[in-house]
Amino acid sequence: MDRSSENILIVDDEPENIRLLGQLLAARGYQIHVAESGEQALTAFETLSREVRLDLILLDVLMPNGLDGIETCRRLKQQDSTRTLPVIFLTAKEDHATIVRAFEAGGADYVLKPFETDVLLARVRAHLTLGRLSHDLESALDERSRQLRVANRELRRANDRLRRLAMEVSLIEEREKRRLAGELHDSPMQKLNLAQMQIASAARCRDSESDRLLEVGQELMREALQELRTLQFELSPPVLYQGGLGAALGWFARYKTKRFGVELHYVESPTLPAIETDLAVVLFQSARELVYNLIKHSGASRGRIELGGDLESICVSVDDDGRGFAPVALDGLTSGEGGYGLFGVRERLSLWGGELDIETKAQGARVTIRVPSTMRTGR
Ligand SMILES: Nc1ncnc2c1ncn2[C@@H]1O[C@H](COP(=O)(O)OP(=O)(O)OP(=O)(O)O)[C@@H](O)[C@H]1O
Ligand SMILES: [Mg+2]
């Protein structure tokens, strides 16, 4: 085996010991470096490590002038670069306490002087092999951690892109609904209006039977018109774009009260800052989901939509006096049992740096969504 690439540092205050040990190891092909004190060993290590990779230290314990072997080892082990470097103590000191201190200081082995040459060489070989293996393992671990960090960064980026996409999709969906609502208003509803007027004027010049039929037709048309108008508003309330978030939420509360018999109140804070349209759309969509949930799941007879905010944040909360629910219900999505509603709200809000909070009250639940007033999505 070629040992010329294996570097051993011998530290001993007796030049004669260094000479004997050096000869023994050099004869086996190892590269030998020497230091005659603990202090010299520390500096020698610094200088040597710039040129070679040190593989093992043979360290005398008793060195009366300056640092002893145990203290030298302790200092070496405090440095990251030498933490895994094997140190074999060589000493004539045989007492139990010194051996324990030597291992506590980070020593890998302890050999008593005078030593058997074969035993010492076997231990040197064993620790060189172990050291090399642990060095290789550490490099492999470093490389694996680096790859994991890269993969993690990629994953976070992909996640971010996905959430932005989800936001885009929800805004595209809202714009599409708005377009459809406009088309509903402009074409079929206008035609129905016109047809209703035509029928009304035809009814004035007919006999009593055809009058009755025309009246039924006219009534059906009135109902169809009303339903179309409701659908148009459900799809995209024009009031959101004309009057802003507060006006849209107020309209929504009144409309749902009439439609479902749940008494919904709308309250607004006087300190509300201006809210840009995209954010108003996101907040309206989110509040709409909370109200749908209130109607679908809570069994409440009363509810309240509150819009508050200041220069720091804007929040919408929906309160009910129903059965309440634990935030754990949100885990339903991952277990495959729950819906998408609250999960979707959370995702959309996170793009605006916002969050959703569920509180269970003595009776009912309060769900709050909060978004920083100054947050921009950077789109
Ligand atoms: N106000 C509420 N009162 C009682 N339970 C509620 C309330 N809001 C939500 N929940 C519970 O939380 C669960 C999750 O709501 P989420 O909106 O995520 O899904 P969903 O309403 O069941 O389905 P989807 O919204 O997809 O139509 C609901 O299934 C329900 O059990
Ligand atoms: Mg829902």
Could you say which ligand is closest to the alpha carbon of residue 332? Answer: 1
Q: What is the pLDDT of residues 55-85, one digit of tens each?
A: 999 999 999 888 999 999 999 999 887 888 9
Nearest CA to ligand 1 atom 30: 297
Say how many Å lie between the CA of residue 289 and the centre of ligand 2: 6
DSSP 82-140: GTT--EEEEES---HHHHHHHHHTT-SEEEESSPPHHHHHHHHHHHHHHHHHHHHHHHH
Ligand 1 atom 25, closest CA: 341
Whether the per-residue pLDDT at 323 is higher than 60: the answer is yes
How many Å lie between the centroid of ligand 1 and the Cα of residue 339? 7
Lowest-confidence segment of 140-154, 159-173, 236-250, 347-361 by average pLDDT: 159-173
- Residue 152: CB partners within 8 Å, gap ≥ 6? none
Task: Give the largest CA-CA distance in the chain.
Answer: 136
pLDDT of the residue at 379: 38
Q: What is the pLDDT of residue 288?
A: 93
Reading the block at residue 299, the tokens are 């069994």
Q: Give percent of the chain with pLDDT exceeding 90.
A: 50
The Cα 220–Cα 243 span in angstroms is 32
Residues with CB under 6 A from ligand 1: 289, 293-294, 296-298, 320, 322-323, 325, 329, 332, 338-343, 365
Say whether pLDDT at 374 is over 80.
Answer: no
**Residue closest by Cα to atom 1 of ligand 1:** 294
pLDDT-derived band at 329, boundaries 50, 70, 90: low
Of the given ranges (120-124, 214-218, 305-309), which has the lowest mean pLDDT? 214-218
| Average pLDDT value for the chain | 87
Mutate to test the pocket of ligand 1, among 294, 297, 334, 367 (most ligand atoms within 8 A of CB): 297
Which atom of ligand 1 is found nearest the CA of 318?
1
Q: Which pLDDT belongs to residue 4?
A: 62
With the most atoms of ligand 1 within 8 angstroms of its CB, the residue from 288, 293, 356 to mutate is 293
- Please tell me the number of the ligand nearest to residue 360's CA: 1
What pLDDT does 232 receive? Answer: 82
Does the pLDDT of residue 377 top 50, yes or no?
Answer: no
Neighbours of ion ligand 2 (CB under 5 A): 293, 339, 341
Highest mean pLDDT among 43-52, 96-105, 217-226, 340-349: 96-105
Name which of 341, 368, 364 is nearest 356 in CA terms.
Answer: 368
CA 103 remoteness from chain centre: 42
Minimum-distance ligand to the CA of 347?
1
Ligand 1 geometric centre to CA of 257 (Å): 19
pLDDT exceeds 80 at position 328: no
Query: Residue 3 — very low, low, confident or very high, per pLDDT cuts 50/70/90?
Result: low
Pocket test of ligand 1: the residue of 260, 295, 317, 325 to mutate, having most ligand atoms within 8 Å of its CB, is 325
Q: Which residue, judged by its Cα, is nearest atom 17 of ligand 1?
A: 341
- CA-nearest residue for atom 19, ligand 1, is 339
More confident residue, 168 or 369: 369
Higher pLDDT, 167 or 219: 219
Which residue stretches of 7-85 are H helix? 15-27, 38-51, 69-77
Could you give the domains of the chain? 7-141 (3.40.50.2300), 239-379 (3.30.565.10)
Among the atoms of ligand 1, which is closest to the Cα of residue 296? 21
pLDDT digits (tens, 9 = 90+) for 261-314: 899 999 999 889 889 998 999 999 999 999 999 999 999 999 999 999 988 899
Identify residue 298 by its one-letter amino acid code.
Answer: S
Choice between 218 and 321, residue whose per-residue pLDDT is larger:
321
Nearest to 296 by CA among 268, 316, 325, 317: 325
Percent of the chain with pLDDT over 70: 94
pLDDT of res. 378? 38
Q: What are phi and psi of 275, to 5 degrees?
A: -120, 125
**Range 124-139 average pLDDT:** 91
**Structure tokens given for 11:** 């530290």
Q: Nearest ligand to the C-alpha of residue 321?
A: 1
